[in-house]
């Protein structure tokens, strides 16, 4: 399906700037100072109306003693939702997904805890995954008035990878969560699936995925299921999953394959495909139709 006009113009302009050597390729972005990468935000004019919700920034400990930032959104209820931002494992922080977490908190009366996990390449696998797990344990131990039996872990893009990998890790340890929220997730860091290799559309390309995976893995085996959840031999016993895929996204087929494999393993899956969206559409909602539909579908999934 055709992209909305403004989304198409923005995507074409980005692709053209990269071809001309003046656009922000992943390699150029990763070369930026860490503080600049952490502060990367979508332009405010592309966010639309941002939900109002009480927030609090807290520094929490990690297993190696280095504190990280989490942002707490108090949506008025007891549903706990741990959220990991996207950005190719190398970009972003709590600010980059702030508008999304606000909407999730308000729509679901949730206590959302967004994690500024440490970024690659300075902190490669498994540090970001460990940071998200440490934030989960902090969330459950903190006095946030949540129901731990309803714990949801979620994320977009690279954050979707971390959420899916953490769901696997927790299942393997006998402590599965209640649900997974995976928004256009990166699920196979071998970046060798037919859908990824054949994608010729707008937005992220194979080279971008390969760069992100290389910086994150730093030589670690890409077939490790905690790096590539799609490659796990056994997906049974995992938490029910909501998976969002987009029609103009190099990752769409991997998301579909994961939904299929989860269902084959007996896991309940809600798969929403937005044919006229690009990767990371929720980050720039003013460019797309159907954003409210996505959040409504998420709320219906989390309410069951």
Q: Known catalytic residues?
A: 157, 249, 279
C-alpha–C-alpha distance, residues 49 and 42, integer Å: 14
The strand pair at 68-74 and 110-116 is best described as: antiparallel
What's the residue count for the chain?
304
Cβ pair 185, 258 in contact under 8 A: yes
């Amino acid at each position: 399906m055709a992209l909305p006009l403004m989304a198409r113009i923005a995507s074409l302009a980005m692709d053209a700037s990269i071809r001309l050597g003046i656009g922000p390729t992943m390699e150029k972005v990763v070369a930026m100072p860490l503080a600049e990468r952490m502060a990367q935000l979508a332009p405010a004019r592309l966010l639309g109306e941002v939900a109002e919700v009480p927030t609090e920034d807290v520094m929490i400990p990690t297993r190696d003693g280095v504190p990280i930032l989490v942002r707490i959104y108090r949506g008025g209820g007891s549903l706990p939702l741990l959220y990991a931002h996207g950005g190719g494992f190398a970009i972003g922080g709590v600010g980059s997904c702030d508008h999304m977490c606000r909407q999730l908190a308000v729509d679901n009366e949730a206590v959302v805890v967004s994690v500024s996990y440490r970024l690659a390449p300075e902190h490669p696998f498994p540090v970001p995954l460990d940071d998200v797990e440490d934030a989960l344990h902090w969330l459950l131990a903190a006095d946030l008035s949540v129901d731990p039996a309803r714990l949801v872990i979620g994320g977009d893009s690279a954050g979707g990878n971390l959420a899916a990998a953490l769901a696997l890790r927790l299942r393997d340890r006998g402590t599965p969560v209640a649900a997974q929220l995976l928004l256009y997730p990166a699920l196979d860091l071998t970046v060798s699936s037919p859908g990824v290799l054949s994608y010729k559309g707008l937005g992220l390309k194979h080279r971008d995925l390969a760069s992100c995976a290389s910086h994150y893995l730093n030589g670690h085996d890409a077939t490790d299921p905690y790096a590539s959840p799609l490659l796990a031999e056994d997906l049974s016993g995992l938490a029910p999953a909501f998976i969002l895929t987009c029609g103009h996204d190099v990752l769409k087929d991997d998301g579909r394959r994961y939904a299929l494999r989860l269902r084959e393993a007996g896991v309940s899956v809600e798969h929403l495909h937005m044919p006229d969206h690009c990767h990371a559409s929720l980050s720039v909602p003013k460019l797309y139709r159907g954003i409210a539909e996505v959040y409504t579908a998420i709320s219906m999934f989390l309410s069951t």
